[in-house]
């Protein structure tokens, strides 16, 4: 299956060829870490882990309205491991050491205004902040970048959205699904269910809806996610659906293997995700699904800033 996109530049070749700025706070990994394969079709899935930032935990604990820019490790899913799709499957609960030992796919670094983060934390809408996400490989910046404007949400007729570009050329968008305004308002307010569309295309006019990501809280979705992703119930499931509404698989947001650090990370809303790519999906579709999980992470599974109120 072709991974070509009009105007696109090979990510790995660019990362290897030119020197790029080093991601702030990037931790040097073990020598076993390898360069990502030429395209994402060569791997079965990824593990996404928000980097632990102790300062965030301390500041949150004393009630100071500040959060550092987020950082994420994206690693190759081990052979033979797939994300669980319901609570009947135990799923993989990786430890920090297990994740760090995996081959690197990307390191993702958030760029956002510190002033914005402080103000929006005080207002209780930190999760809606404007930001950019820069993708790194082997400590060098790639041409991939996510742009996320500040949007208040589809309920206010301003749906959340992210745009992924490669060397300035649009790859696709992730947009909060509000095509049916009344239906989605009811789903969010009555069933605690939030849906985002994953679309691929080189312009807004050419976007093609490839997948939907359904984030359902409590007991209203396909599975009962109440208390999911915590020490009480280690997994929370985000459904990957076809545009027609057919279930494909699930992304497993997991508490981890347990221990004091995982407990602290849970309290600070620093998450792990295990994602198996849909069979037959292209490189760019998989890249957009990764972007979609970042959208879901920021919108629904990160701090709003009013947690201590």
Q: Could you list the pLDDT tens digit for every one of the 309 residues in the chain?
A: 444 444 443 443 333 333 344 444 444 333 233 334 458 999 999 999 999 877 777 777 777 777 889 999 999 999 999 999 999 987 899 998 999 999 999 999 999 999 999 999 999 999 999 999 999 998 999 999 999 999 999 999 999 999 999 999 999 999 999 999 999 999 999 999 999 999 999 999 999 999 999 999 988 889 999 999 888 889 999 999 999 999 999 999 998 888 777 888 887 788 999 999 999 999 999 999 999 999 999 999 998 987 654
| pLDDT score at 38 | 54
What residue spans define the domains of the chain? 43-300
| pLDDT score at 135 | 96
Half-sphere exposure for 113 (CA within 13 Å, toward CB) = 12
| pLDDT score at 267 | 77
Measure the CA–CA gap between 150 and 76, rounded to whole angstroms.
Answer: 31
| pLDDT score at 1 | 45
| pLDDT score at 306 | 72
The residue whose two tokens read 């990764």 is 290
Q: Which two tokens stand for residue 152?
A: 């208040």
CA distances from 201 to 6, 48, 173, 178, 233 (A): 9, 24, 8, 19, 38
Calculate the CA dihedral of residues 118, 119, 123, 127 and round it to 10 degrees: -60
| pLDDT score at 16 | 36
Farthest CA pair distance, the chain: 53
């Amino acid at each position: 299956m072709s991974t070509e996109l009009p105007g696109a530049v090979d990510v790995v070749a660019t990362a290897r060829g030119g020197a790029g700025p080093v991601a702030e706070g990037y931790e040097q990994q073990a020598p076993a870490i390898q360069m990502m394969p030429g395209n994402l079709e060569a791997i079965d899935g990824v593990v996404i882990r928000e980097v632990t930032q102790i300062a965030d935990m301390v500041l949150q604990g004393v009630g100071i309205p500040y959060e550092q820019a987020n950082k994420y490790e994206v690693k190759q899913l081990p052979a033979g491991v797939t994300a669980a799709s319901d609570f009947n499957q135990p799923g993989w609960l990786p430890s920090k050491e297990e994740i760090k030992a995996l081959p690197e796919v990307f390191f993702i670094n958030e760029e956002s205004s510190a002033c914005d983060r402080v103000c929006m934390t005080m207002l209780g809408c930190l999760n809606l902040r404007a930001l950019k996400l820069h993708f790194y490989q082997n400590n060098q910046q790639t041409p991939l970048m996510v742009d996320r404007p500040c949007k208040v949400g589809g309920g206010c007729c301003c749906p959340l959205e992210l745009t992924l570009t490669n060397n300035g050329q649009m790859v696709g968008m992730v947009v909060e699904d509000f095509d049916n305004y009344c239906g989605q308002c009811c789903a969010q307010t009555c069933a605690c269910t939030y849906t985002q569309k994953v679309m691929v295309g080189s312009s807004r006019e050419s976007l093609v809806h490839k997948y939907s990501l359904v984030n359902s809280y409590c007991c209203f979705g396909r599975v009962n996610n109440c208390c999911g992703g915590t020490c009480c119930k280690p997994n929370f499931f985000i459904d990957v659906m076809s545009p027609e509404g057919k279930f494909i698989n699930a992304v497993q947001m997991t508490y981890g293997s347990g221990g004091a650090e995982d407990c602290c990370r849970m309290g600070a809303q620093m998450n792990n995700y295990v994602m198996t790519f849909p069979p037959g999906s292209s490189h760019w579709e998989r890249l957009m699904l990764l972007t979609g999980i970042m959208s879901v992470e920021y919108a629904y599974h990160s701090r709003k800033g009013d947690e201590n109120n």
